Structure 1
């Protein structure tokens, strides 16, 4: 079915009319849902995401991304089939969460630093949740267990890396970007040369660079806020008219013969639309369901991300020729890999947690039954420290590989 199919147009029109009627019929419920979405955006998303988008834009203008790109070329190209600049997107995406990676990939594509296929590979495995959300809101806030945070974080990010390795074979015959600097100079000098040339090409004074970075970040965050509010209203409307319950019942009937616990159908439906609601629903499943199943479903929901995030990513990528379909396929595979890894790693991680415990306590210790409150400054410091840490690991690995390759060629 083509994008401009009359049938698709008719279905979209009917759906839109139906939603408008529901909004009018349940105006008070819609208003309250919109306020909740606005509160989430203003208190959580806006302060935690704005600094990273602004700093990323500034670092690109100063040529730092090109500096990092040359240093990480020996790692990112063989492992993920993307240029070294993808390492910057990987570090920022893993530390600050979705949809920052999509924004940075779009900027790299617009600047010509990645090809269409490389952009599709890059955004597919770097779009993840941020560690504060995974380990704080979900593990401690919903599951009330600090050890659960280790399980969820490890399976979430390890499966993302595996996705990157798998997606290196995406579009295998597509053209690849040329290395930023390829000469006989040592790697650090080539990196400095690339940064200097990128800064010369940019030409913008620092004041103008900062102003445009803030403007771009605000435009992106306004778009993100709009999607959060819209999906908050839609999810509440679907729940009010019992649409989610109907889908949940049908899903439990379909998955039941495969041995899937029917109690999770509601969590899956909620996670299909919004990651926070899905993770919360997975945590409140009745206690007769195994904890490993709860962790697997929560990890899968975190890796899927929700249609709300996908709509944000699609809107950001629309500025380029990067397709959304490979990204959506990657999200599904990421969710499947995360769930499988949870079952594989559950036993070893539980044993390690128990062995390191100072006293004879249960493997999964209950933490405070509330989402940890962190200030904007604490959030920025932790996410920034994680970005630097991930970048340092990538840099050390890349330099080691580069040294090994040079030793072999001698």
Structure 2
């Protein structure tokens, strides 16, 4: 009852603030819309559709079965938890939370195991890190790969430490003794998922596009609402607070954008570290998504919020540690970039200049090439979904 009254009061307060400052609220929502339309929508639509197809054709089930032994040995979780981790690490928020809640409802995992699995699987999508942040915000997908590596490394380290602190016996994965080798079990899971889905390819493709557009519309709504909240709260924040802190606490997309265009004395590595920290935390909006996913279970949001803070700090540190060696391997710093050094800065890295959302690099000109790549990936997925089950389930 108290929570309902609190949310009702906050909603009325937000509406009142928008009425009191309509111009600023409109400009903020327009900025959120611009970022979403220029970067998020064209960058994610083809690949979110591909992820929907992967789930329909059993690709995610195949991956989840393959990593089930790692879930048991490294994270002290049942083998079935591999599916939740595969969903969370491919589809992003809130797919991992939904899968973790489903396993908890089915008593496949205990409450303690469910909490650890929720913290491990509720992850930002790699598409956001590679396409939205790397290609869209930073104009270099390789930099997005470095950020993704730091976010993943932080999650794995936190998950391993969390597992070592637990004192539970791991239950064996169901059906492990009857289905033979790991590859055969993975192929069987893939075939079973495809059979259970039962839709034709045409309908599956249409449903995948429709579902992806629905998810992107929801993301756009979150971004616009959160952008308005950030703009309305800015006058209440201390002047010394960096501009990326408030949006980073509320919503990961606009927080990552604010961190990407901020002027850091340490140069690009610090921009990347801040982005990794914001994406690892996910913002309050991602916690609300997780809360909705786990409703009806005994899984709590407080341990998840605590682990998100731990992962955020680890991701920040990991980015600074791996930046120089990994960028050297990927050769992502071309000689043609003019570099500069400021007091406290790092020589050899470009210092990003703040840009407005209206001047944001757009992914729309690359849509033809993205769609060709998408068509090729769909063809590979179809071939794999046909060949793998036949080859390994004989």
2:281 match: 304
Q: CA distance change for structure 1 residues 193 and 147 in 2, over 3 Å: closer, same or farther?
A: closer
Distance 1:275 1:153 in 2: 14
Which of 361, 364, 369 pairs up with 1:371? Answer: 361
1:259 match: none
Deviation readout 1:324-349 (Å, 9 max, x if unpaired):
22221221111111111123223433
Q: CA distance change for structure 1 residues 338 and 104 in 2, over 3 Å: closer, same or farther?
A: same
Q: How far did residue 196 of structure 1 move?
A: 7.2
Q: CA distance change for structure 1 residues 178 and 115 in 2, over 3 Å: closer, same or farther?
A: farther
Q: Does 1:273 align with 2:263?
A: no
Distance 1:352 1:192 in 2: 35
Q: CA distance change for structure 1 residues 304 and 65 in 2, over 3 Å: closer, same or farther?
A: closer
Between 1:170-179 and 1:299-308, the stretch displaced more is: 170-179
Q: CA distance change for structure 1 residues 140 and 39 in 2, over 3 Å: closer, same or farther?
A: closer
Q: How far did residue 376 of structure 1 move?
A: 8.7
Q: CA distance change for structure 1 residues 100 and 180 in 2, over 3 Å: closer, same or farther?
A: same
Between 1:32-41 and 1:273-282, the stretch displaced more is: 32-41
2:261 match: 284
Which of 67, 73, 76 pairs up with 1:72? Answer: 67
Deviation readout 1:123-142 (Å, 9 max, x if unpaired):
32233333443244434544
Using structure 1 for the length normalisation, give the TM-score.
Answer: 0.67
Distance 1:381 1:104 in 2: 29
1:210-359 correspondence to structure 2 within 5 Å: 224=219, 226-239=221-234, 242-243=235-236, 245-246=237-238, 249=240, 252=241, 265-286=242-263, 288-349=265-326, 351-352=328-329
Q: How far did residue 272 of structure 1 move?
A: 0.9
2:345 match: none
Deviation readout 1:253-292 (Å, 9 max, x if unpaired):
xxxxxxxxxxxx3222221112233233333333644443
Q: Does 1:138 align with 2:133?
A: yes
Distance 1:304 1:98 in 2: 11
Distance 2:213 2:8 in 1: 31
Distance 2:101 2:214 in 1: 14
Distance 2:33 2:249 in 1: 20
2:10 match: 15
Using structure 2 for the length normalisation, give the TM-score.
Answer: 0.69
Size of the alignment, in residue pairs? 361
Contact 1:96 1:383 in 2 (8 A): no
Q: CA distance change for structure 1 residues 382 and 319 in 2, over 3 Å: closer, same or farther?
A: farther
Distance 2:163 2:182 in 1: 24
Distance 2:47 2:292 in 1: 17
1:30 match: 25
Distance 2:375 2:83 in 1: 14
RMSD between aligned residues: 4.6
Contact 2:244 2:258 in 1 (8 A): yes
Distance 1:223 1:355 in 2: 33
Distance 2:85 2:376 in 1: 13
Contact 1:47 1:376 in 2 (8 A): no
Deviation readout 1:138-174 (Å, 9 max, x if unpaired):
3454445565334322212222222332332465338
1:157-172 correspondence to structure 2 within 5 Å: 157-169=152-164, 172=167
Distance 1:106 1:380 in 2: 36
Q: CA distance change for structure 1 residues 289 and 214 in 2, over 3 Å: closer, same or farther?
A: closer
Q: CA distance change for structure 1 residues 182 and 219 in 2, over 3 Å: closer, same or farther?
A: farther
- What secondary structure sits across from 2:74 in the alignment? helix
Q: How far did residue 193 of structure 1 move?
A: 6.0
